Each structure stands twice: as structure tokens, then as C-alpha cells.
């Protein structure tokens, strides 16, 4: 029996972070899709983690929540030989952690504001929140594009935890707010991300579920073809 169990959903952007990390670190887990809309499943899940957020890693019956903490835990205790997402050098590790947080706070969060608004009844839509989310993403895109000049990956020459965070954040965000012509570094970086085997594998696993993504109209046809539903 595998001592590691990941509770997740293939459509969740935050779950994608951990799925990418598992591939990069060559770690095998038991995977259980969690449906929060099912009362029985939700009741059982809340017993494991009362805050009810996904993903959740269970390691020898110990719950490990929150994506960045999960990745740190996996790196510390389960990474395959020679596999790293967090540099051993302390200064380099700080940069990786910084960009992991920036991706969550300034790309993932405004992206989710678009999704949340689409899930509201039309009469309850919040146009000002969408305007603020669009402005936040445009600001983040400019920041990231400037940072990426001369870089292959987000925090240096090696794919890291920061890139695990960037891949799903940017993948879903650009369905709502496209990269502009001024974002050449960011556009090239995105292509490197989606070509990365761990990212491509995660996207492939999500394809059957993209029809449920509220922003699916903004997904490129190479990722989602509506006629195939």
C-alpha cells in the first residue's frame, strides 16, 4: 500500500501545482478525486481537513495541506534521487519561494475572481471585481515579463517549485486575459512550460474536465475543442 494519498481534482489549478511537482520529483501516490459537491464525500473530507481545501496530501495518516507546504514536504521526505524543486542554496531557495507566492497571490487569485464571477447568477455578477482582476493580471504579466528577460525558468536555470506554481496559474489566467504583444518573454516562457512533460501530462489529465471550466471559451483549441464534448 502506498503511504501517500493525494486528494485532488483534475480541473483544479492548485491541484495542478502538486501534480506537476509529483512528476518532477518522480513520486508515486495513490490519487483520489474529490467531489466537494457530494455531501457524503465532503463530510468525509472535512474530517481529514476541516478547511475543506484541495489538494490534500495524506502521508502515513498525517494530513499535509496547502500546495507550497505539500511540495516542501515531498521534496524533504520523498523526492527521487537527484530530483529537486527547491535549491539547496538558501538564497536561491528564497527566490523560488518568493515567485511561488507571487504566482499564487497575483496570478492565481485574480484568475479565480473571473471564475467566481462566472459561477454567480447573471443578476449577481460583480463587474467591478472583474475589472480589478483584469488590472491585477495585466500588472502581474508586466512584472513577470520583465523578470523573465534572459531567464529560462522563473527562478533561474532549473525548473523549480516556482514553475510548478506558474504553469497552472498562467494556463487558466490567459483564458480570461491574453498576453499582450509587449509580453514576449512571458509568451515564450509559457510555451516552454506547456512543452515540459510534467506540465503537458497534467494538462492532458484535465482535458476531459475542461468542459466544466467556466472560462473554457478562452482556452486555445490546442488544449480544448468544444465539439469533442
Beta bridge partners of 5: 30, 58
* Cis peptide, bond prior to residue 71, ω within 30 of zero: no
Series of mean pLDDT values for 10-residue runs along the chain (229 residues) = 89 98 97 94 96 96 97 96 96 97 98 96 94 98 97 95 98 98 98 98 97 96 82
- So what's the pLDDT on residue 1? 54
On whether the CB atoms of residues 13 and 172 are closer than 8 A, the answer is yes
**Predicted pLDDT of residue 229:** 53
Domain(s) of CATH 3.40.30.10: residues in the chain: 4-77
CATH class of the 90-218 domain in this structure? mainly alpha
pLDDT of residue 51: 96
The confidence score (pLDDT) of residue 226 equals 87
What pLDDT, on a 0 to 100 scale, did the predictor assign at position 149?
Answer: 94
Cβ atoms of residues 3 and 198 within 8 Å: no
Amino acid 141: pLDDT: 98
pLDDT of residue 153: 98
CATH number assigned to the domain with residue range 4-77, chosen from the 4 options 3.40.30.10, 3.10.180.10, 3.90.1150.10, 2.60.120.10: 3.40.30.10
pTM of structure: 0.95
What angle is formed at CA 98 by the lines to CA 94 and CA 100, rounded to 5 degrees? 115
Q: Which DSSP category does 226 fall into? A: G
Q: Give the Cα separation of 178 and 195 in Å (integer).
A: 19
Please tell me the total number of residues recorded for the chain in this structure.
Answer: 229
Amino acid at each position: 500500500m502506498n503511504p501517500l494519498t493525494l486528494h485532488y481534482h483534475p480541473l483544479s489549478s492548485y491541484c495542478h501545482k502538486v501534480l506537476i511537482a509529483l512528476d518532477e520529483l518522480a513520486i508515486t501516490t495513490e490519487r483520489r478525486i474529490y467531489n466537494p459537491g457530494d455531501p457524503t464525500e465532503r463530510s468525509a473530507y472535512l474530517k481529514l481537513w476541516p478547511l475543506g481545501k484541495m489538494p490534500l496530501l495524506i502521508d502515513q495518516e498525517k494530513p499535509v495541506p496547502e500546495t507550497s507546504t505539500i511540495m516542501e514536504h515531498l521534496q524533504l521526505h520523498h523526492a527521487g534521487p537527484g530530483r529537486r524543486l527547491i535549491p539547496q542554496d538558501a538564497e536561491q531557495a528564497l527566490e523560488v519561494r518568493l515567485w511561488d507566492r507571487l504566482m499564487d497571490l497575483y496570478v492565481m487569485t485574480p484568475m479565480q475572481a473571473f471564475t467566481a464571477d462566472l459561477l454567480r447568477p447573471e443578476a449577481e455578477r460583480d463587474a467591478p471585481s472583474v475589472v480589478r482582476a483584469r488590472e491585477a493580471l495585466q500588472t502581474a504579466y508586466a512584472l513577470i515579463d520583465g523578470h523573465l528577460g534572459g531567464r529560462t525558468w522563473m527562478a533561474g536555470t532549473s525548473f523549480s517549485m516556482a514553475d510548478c506554481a506558474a504553469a497552472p496559474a498562467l494556463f487558466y489566467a490567459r483564458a480570461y486575459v491574453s498576453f499582450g504583444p509587449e509580453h514576449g518573454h512571458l509568451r515564450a516562457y509559457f510555451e516552454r512550460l506547456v512543452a515540459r512533460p510534467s506540465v503537458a501530462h497534467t494538462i492532458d489529465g484535465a482535458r476531459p474536465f475542461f468542459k466544466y471550466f467556466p472560462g473554457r471559451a478562452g482556452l486555445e483549441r490546442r488544449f480544448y475543442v468544444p465539439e469533442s464534448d
